[in-house]
Structure 1
Amino acid sequence: MASPMKNMLHQGEDEEEVYAYAFQLAFSSIFPFTLKAAIELRLLDIIVEAGPGAALSPAEIAAQLPTRNPQAATTVDRILRLLAANGIVSCTDVGGAIDGPRYGAAPVCKYLTRKEDGEPSIGSLALLIQDKVFVDTWHQLKDSVLEGSEVMKATHGMNLFDYLSSDIRFSKVFNKGMSGHTTVPVGQLIITYHGFDDVKVLVDVGGNQGTTLDMITSMYPHIKAINFDLPHVISVAPHLPGVEHVSGDMFESIPTGDAIFIKWVLHDWADADCVRILKNCGKALPAGKGKVIVMEYVLPVVPEQSAKARGVFQLDLAVLAFCPGGKERTETEFKALGMEAGFTGFKAVHLLANNYVMEFTI
């Protein structure tokens, strides 16, 4: 009787690809930490800063690192090979050159490297998600299924927002990651959504460092902007022209405005908490007027095999791990939250990569 292994190997290239995929999955945690190291070492920045179309050898890249390690170029080469296999950089074999292959920037590098103005990119989000504080929580995911435990609390003894107020280093990493994550989606929001045209006072609930309001008011300078967040966040928020920083608790009350903006906050909370937040947003609006503008990732009803779907389902598990009760939602689920909170009007506009802007009106 033939062994299962022999039968598998006789099934040809399709089965070989399935096996190779299973093998890759077994090592899947290696890639994000390799990307983290590349970002921390500025390997991608070095390649991008060499100019459009540039291709550098590992030795040329390693020469720009603050190291005397004689093996640095070899290790850089091994890191970049994995990134090339994942489409992060291009790799060109120059025919047995002494200094090895040459690496260039793939299109995704523009989102992973520092922008020309020095502002953080989505690379800062990668550093946040791969930070030890978050990584340690994943060992508790199984117990969240079997015992219903809160993953973040089981790991660190407190929820995410309490932890942020207790760990200055991680709070800085978190704020930078959120700012880097904001720029591209909010840039698309400003282009696509025209609901800010008639807004006089805009309150950003959970606005972190004020990056979003800074971008919105640069396009709509007539808006009086209020950045509203917890005291430990507001205490380190930078001065921004046209933006007033106000500290408080969104579960207690929210500053008044004719429009309330709330981005990537509801996914941190259970349904009942979201309804409470939305009700407080409604109370902050003029009687019978105004709108609540919600920007969130929206789950596809059926999982697809695409980068967009994988990204949002990974995010859904991240909020499961980091925020008790937190979850990503479908458009229908967001509409239901709004209706339960007393809003009668709802419309949704797609921005990019499963990001939507949703408008709730009374």
Structure 2
Amino acid sequence: MGSNHGCSANEIFEGQIHLYKHLYAHVLDSMSLKWMIELGIPDIIHNHHQPITLPELASTLQIPLTKVRGVQSLLRYLAHCGFLQIVRIHHHTEEKEAYALTAASQLLLKGSDLSLAPMVELLTKPHAVHAWSQLKKWTYEDDLTLFDVSLGSNLWDFLGKNPENNKLFNESMASDSQMMNLALRGCNWVFEGVESIVDVGGGTGTTARAICDAFPNVKCTVFDRPQVVENLSGTNNLRYVGGDMFESIPKADAVLLKLILHDWNDNDGKKILENCKEAISDKGKRGRVILIETVINEGQDEHGLTGLKLAMDVRMTCLLNGKERSEEEWKKLFMDAGFQSYKIYPLTGYLSLIEIYP
């Protein structure tokens, strides 16, 4: 005979709903966003200058009549998830249903300075999606990442051998940096008294250029893998340097690490921070390392925010052998690398700004 394991029928049905919700959302959430971007729907609505009806959207996209119902189904799901808003408008003397953008879907506009469309494109690439189907094999492969298991190489080697994916990776990191730049506009005090700064893993220089614009007297160095910076041109107060952060880091008053340390385990993170400490060793009170990272605060953060941070920890751990860290874990890493003190400040909804001092 079957058993409910002490659960009532209603509890079993609730469990089924919970299971199916996550099972279906695993693929549908990300792929519906990919579909939305590939068809240019956010841009179509934006350029329409008002909410758009389903017939208007279908006409613009030249969708076959047989697919209109399917498109409506996807739009309704995206609206339920907060990426569209369903409104009522007057259209040729009739009241009709129409779709408007939300704050989330405005981040998918391809021409926007704050567009995160490249991030969606990167994380929905076939190689990125396929990797997660290898979790069981990953579990039993000592010290290998999901990318090692699914691609046969780590992420950095894969990007080095695939220029198109490397370009998209850099674009997605640049788009994420634009969000950080928005937050940093209110944190000018972080760079006061700093005459030189190195942005380690700074990519194409999105954040460094913003710092240069805000502080023309600050000398900025973008330090990244040689293949990332080799064709980039600097300015009077911005230069690009290729190298390996595990070997050494150019000297400066401050070293900036934006979402770098979460890519690495504690041993690698300690080595990076030791090199940062060496880079600022002769700068006295001006010397500091500035981190932009996640700080896991289970029990303190709102439930949904904690869920995002824990999901990011799963991604970093499985894909890169990295990790997101709690404050206690950050503190231990700083002390192990020879730093004496630190301060944590809120920055964005899920990121913190951390200053650490030698």
Q: Deviations over 1:1-38 (max 9, x none)?
A: 9996xx955x4xx8755533322222121121011110
Match of 1:153 in 2: 148
Does residue 189 (structure 1) correspond to residue 184 (structure 2)? The answer is yes
What runs of 5+ residues in structure 1 fail to find an aligned partner? none
| Superposition map of 1:241-256 within 5 A | 242-256=237-251
Q: Deviations over 1:218-249 (max 9, x none)?
A: 21121111000001111354656742111000
Match of 1:38 in 2: 36
Per the alignment, in what secondary structure is the counterpart of residue 138 of structure 2?
helix
Question: How far apart are the structure 2 equivalents of 1:266 and 1:171?
Answer: 20
Residues 1:39 and 1:237: Cα distance change in structure 2 (over 3 Å) = farther
Match of 2:48 in 1: 50
Does residue 352 (structure 1) correspond to residue 319 (structure 2)? The answer is no
One-letter identity of the residue aligned with 2:269: C
| Superposition map of 1:144-293 within 5 A | 144-148=138-142, 149-192=144-187, 194-237=189-232, 242-287=237-282, 289=284, 290-293=287-290
- TM-score norm. by structure 2 comes to 0.89
Does residue 310 (structure 1) correspond to residue 307 (structure 2)? The answer is yes
Per the alignment, in what secondary structure is the counterpart of residue 158 of structure 1?
coil
Greater Cα offset, 347-356 or 92-101: 92-101
Question: How far apart are the structure 2 equivalents of 1:288 and 1:200?
Answer: 10
Match of 2:291 in 1: 294
| Superposition map of 1:304-343 within 5 A | 306-323=303-320, 325-343=321-339
Question: How far apart are the structure 2 equivalents of 1:96 and 1:84?
Answer: 21
CA contact 2:54–2:98 (8 Å) conserved in 1: yes
What runs of 5+ residues in structure 2 fail to find an aligned partner? none
CA contact 1:209–1:238 (8 Å) conserved in 2: no
One-letter identity of the residue aligned with 2:29: F
Residues 1:303 and 1:138: Cα distance change in structure 2 (over 3 Å) = farther
- 1:355 Cα deviation after fit: 0.5
Match of 1:121 in 2: 115
Question: How far apart are the structure 2 equivalents of 1:3 and 1:244?
Answer: 67
Percent sequence identity is: 29
- TM-score norm. by structure 1 comes to 0.88
Does residue 106 (structure 1) correspond to residue 102 (structure 2)? The answer is yes
Residues 1:205 and 1:76: Cα distance change in structure 2 (over 3 Å) = same
Residues 1:253 and 1:288: Cα distance change in structure 2 (over 3 Å) = same
Q: Deviations over 1:30-75 (max 9, x none)?
A: 1210111101211122212333xx221123223333x564445444
Question: How far apart are the structure 2 equivalents of 1:95 and 1:190?
Answer: 40
TM-align CA RMSD: 2.8
Per the alignment, in what secondary structure is the counterpart of residue 185 of structure 2?
helix
One-letter identity of the residue aligned with 1:129: L
Question: How far apart are the structure 2 equivalents of 1:204 and 1:220?
Answer: 15
Per the alignment, in what secondary structure is the counterpart of residue 322 of structure 2?
coil
Per the alignment, in what secondary structure is the counterpart of residue 347 of structure 2?
strand
Greater Cα offset, 327-336 or 197-206: 327-336
CA contact 2:224–2:242 (8 Å) conserved in 1: yes
Question: How far apart are the structure 2 equivalents of 1:251 and 1:45?
Answer: 42
One-letter identity of the residue aligned with 2:288: K
One-letter identity of the residue aligned with 2:121: L
CA contact 1:137–1:321 (8 Å) conserved in 2: no
Question: How far apart are the structure 2 equivalents of 1:89 and 1:262?
Answer: 34
Question: How far apart are the structure 2 equivalents of 1:181 and 1:204?
Answer: 15
One-letter identity of the residue aligned with 2:328: T
